[in-house]
Amino acid sequence: MSQHPPSLRTTIRRKADRGHYNAPSIHAIVDAAFVCQIAFNASGSVHCLPTACWRDGDYLYIHGAGNSRLIDALLAAEAAVSITHLDGLVLARSAFHHSMNFRSVAIYGQFTEVTAVDDKAAAMHAFLEHVSPGRSALVRAPSPAELAGTRILRLALHEAAAKIRNWGVEDSADDMDIPVWAGVVPLGLRASAIVAEAGCADFPPPTLPSSLQEEPSP
Amino acid sequence: MSQHPPSLRTTIRRKADRGHYNAPSIHAIVDAAFVCQIAFNASGSVHCLPTACWRDGDYLYIHGAGNSRLIDALLAAEAAVSITHLDGLVLARSAFHHSMNFRSVAIYGQFTEVTAVDDKAAAMHAFLEHVSPGRSALVRAPSPAELAGTRILRLALHEAAAKIRNWGVEDSADDMDIPVWAGVVPLGLRASAIVAEAGCADFPPPTLPSSLQEEPSP
């Protein structure tokens, strides 16, 4: 696990107390994500698209189909990736001081392709374990043709910054007597009752990742 | 509520059955969001940053501080915005056919600034009502100085496309006898027990937006 000083474009200037540049903070936010947002330029336009993601070591991984235009575009130029977890609505006594609690990561750099078959198999294994720990041992593994038809890219987490707000209301002293409920509504991505395919209801239910089981912090 | 045909860059080519271009579909996905992701170019680099958002009519709104570099950058060039709701993990019998259920919107265009004081006040009112319906009548409204210190941008939802996957497992016929649980783990952003500021516990609790109260669909 490596430490990297903030770059010019990852240094958080506004509300700098919310910025974190250490790898454990960045990794924890990435590990709680199933989807990232990727900004890139292609065909003369800027784009912002979501895609599934996972982490292995100091890299963020994504995958796509063999004919994916996103994959082609990301190999052609630098990208910026954002991961954001909305952790709460912060309800103040004044409209102006309302806020949100969140954990986010911004990552900059050039995606590169994972091409060796063994590396691709290991990456897809890590992806499935991220989605449901232990599941790789239970399902049919990718065939050679499926692996060949899947393109896998990774982006180093070296030029990255985390931003976190995880506290309560910050109202002005003049507003403290306004008779209204103020506080935090904690939010989090949660699983509800699983829905089995026909014939599957009697098999052991899937293991869910820990990020879906924790209660959000206020 | 207007309808707009897909443009070259909003036309979904891969898995085109997941694409939706009608305003009600796009508006519903935007309305369920508190945060959007914005891609833009500035200082010779592409960026992807999250920010709070809300909708009024056929526009997506964001806000920022007077000295926000994001706001300056968005007024200088076109942007792309992504909103994504992760609705479920789709667990198949084969590693390859795992998927995710989601609702996403991609929007392209040029943000413009809302400058008239009345329009800014109306936009901030709509923002707070989006976060907690009815709350504008209970809290202190923005002062002229607070409004002056807040910059508000909006982006037309004209060049936009929604993408939705909301169904079950699609395994190959050859894999149907693999003895493993297959199905959908529904996911959704949910509120947990509210946390009151000191002295606020006896006031009526805040009204939460309907998007936080619904059970996610499988």
| Architecture of the domain defined by A16-187 | Roll (2.30)
Q: Summarize pLDDT for B116-153 with one digit per residue, the tens.
A: 999 999 999 999 999 999 999 999 999 999 999 999 99
- Chain centroid, CA B5 distance in Å: 21
Contact between A194 and B180 using a beta-carbon 8 Å cutoff: no
* Position A67 confidence tier, pLDDT thresholds 50, 70, 90: confident
Residue of A nearest to B8 (CA): A43
Q: Which residue has the tokens 């630098």?
A: A78
Chain A: closest CA distance from residue B89 (Å)? 8
DSSP B140: B
Sequence-separated (6 or more) residues with CB below 8 Å from residue B184: A194, A195, B88, B89, B90, B91, B101, B168, B169, B218
* Position A214 confidence tier, pLDDT thresholds 50, 70, 90: low
Q: Summarize pLDDT for A19-43 with one digit per residue, the tens.
A: 888 999 999 999 999 999 999 999 9
Question: Residue B6 has which token pair?
Answer: 């897909």
* Position B8 confidence tier, pLDDT thresholds 50, 70, 90: confident
Task: Return d(Cα A59, Cα A154) in angstroms, integer.
Answer: 6
Find residue B154's DSSP bridge partners. Answer: B61, B112
Residue A4 reports pLDDT greater than 80: no
From the list B65, B95, B190, the residue facing A188 with the nearest CB is B190
ipTM of the complex: 0.94
Task: Report the candidate in B108, B156, B217 with the shortest Cα–Cα distance to residue B2.
Answer: B156
From the list B67, B182, B192, the residue facing A197 with the nearest CB is B182
Q: In the predicted model, what is the mean pLDDT of residues B94-119?
A: 98
B184 interfacial to chain A (CB closer than 8 Å): yes
B52 interfacial to chain A (CB closer than 8 Å): yes
Cβ pair B141, A96 in contact under 8 A: no
* Position A216 confidence tier, pLDDT thresholds 50, 70, 90: very low
Q: In the predicted model, what is the mean pLDDT of residues B94-100?
A: 98
B46 interfacial to chain A (CB closer than 8 Å): yes
Residue B83 reports pLDDT greater than 80: yes
pLDDT reported for residue A3: 61
- The residue ranking higher by pLDDT, B14 or B54, is B54
Residue B217 reports pLDDT greater than 70: no
Domains in chain B: boundaries: 16-213
Q: Any long-range contacts for B27-33 (C-beta under 8 Å, 24+ apart)?
A: B27/B1, B27/B55, B27/B157, B28/B103, B29/B83, B29/B85, B29/B103, B29/B104, B29/B105, B29/B162, B29/B164, B30/B55, B30/B60, B30/B83, B30/B105, B30/B157, B31/B55, B31/B130, B31/B211, B32/B85, B32/B103, B32/B211, B33/B83, B33/B85
Q: Structure pTM?
A: 0.94
Query: Does domain B16-213 fall into CATH 3.40.50.620?
Result: no
Q: What's the half-sphere exposure (Cβ side, CA atoms, 13 Å) at B201?
A: 4
